[in-house]
Amino acid sequence: MAGLVIVISGPGGAGKGTVVEKLVAADPELSLSRSWTTRDRRPGEAEDAYVFVSEEAFLEHRDAGGFLEWNHFLGGNYYASPVPDIDAAQDLVLEIDVNGAQQIFDGPKEALYVFIDTPSLEEQRQRLISRGDSADKVEERMAAGADERKLAESIPYIHVVNDDVDECSAEVAALIEEYRSSGTC
């Protein structure tokens, strides 16, 4: 990996996927790592949102050293960021959970860490409900969000509140530009 690494994390419902989508669309120097998962595709979710694989295929790839980071997450599913095969001129965006970010932080590659959060817990809950999560899943994600916020304290994240997706995207884009200029976090 020759380019810079930008790690974007945050609880479910924070809007990090939307922010990352806007960043990558606006900046040709960014390449999004497409995560692998063993979970089923959500209704209406694009086929290329993830690399959807069986648990067996996932574990084989993991055991062969094919992931930068991986995690066993809610509902018993695995998620991972594959070792990238990108143009060295591009910077790699990883949209991953805090456990995955900890693996990157503990590794040899420096990164910019951005934690995107909701303005309030009630806003997080409403966003999860509006995207179609079941009541049980909403409660699981709320609890996981609390855990992620706590774990994030051990990583040098820059925290950005997503109250307005355009403003949040602009703030993160400015952080990336600053990181590119300085070469360090």
CATH 3.30.63.10 domain position(s) in the chain? 34-83
How are strands ordered across the β-sheet holding 158-161?
30-32, 91-95, 5-9, 112-117, 158-161
Structure confidence at residue 48 (pLDDT): 87
Say what the pLDDT of residue 1 is: 40
Count CB neighbours of 130 within 10 A: 9
Per-10-residue mean pLDDT for the chain, 185 residues long? 83 94 95 91 88 96 93 85 73 91 86 96 95 90 95 96 97 96 70
Q: Which CATH class is domain 1-33+88-185?
A: alpha beta
> Domain 34-83 carries which CATH code?
3.30.63.10
What's the confidence (pLDDT) of residue 84?
77
List every span in the chain annotated with CATH 3.40.50.300. Answer: 1-33+88-185
Quote the pLDDT of residue 101: 94
- Residue 127: what pLDDT? 94
Burial 100-117 (b: 16+ CB within 10 A, else e): bbbbbbeeeeebbbbbbb
Q: What is the pTM of this model?
A: 0.85
Q: Contact 165/15 with Cβ under 8 angstroms?
A: yes
CB atoms within 10 A of CB 27: 15
Minimal CA–CA distance to 115: which of 172, 178, 184, 176? 172
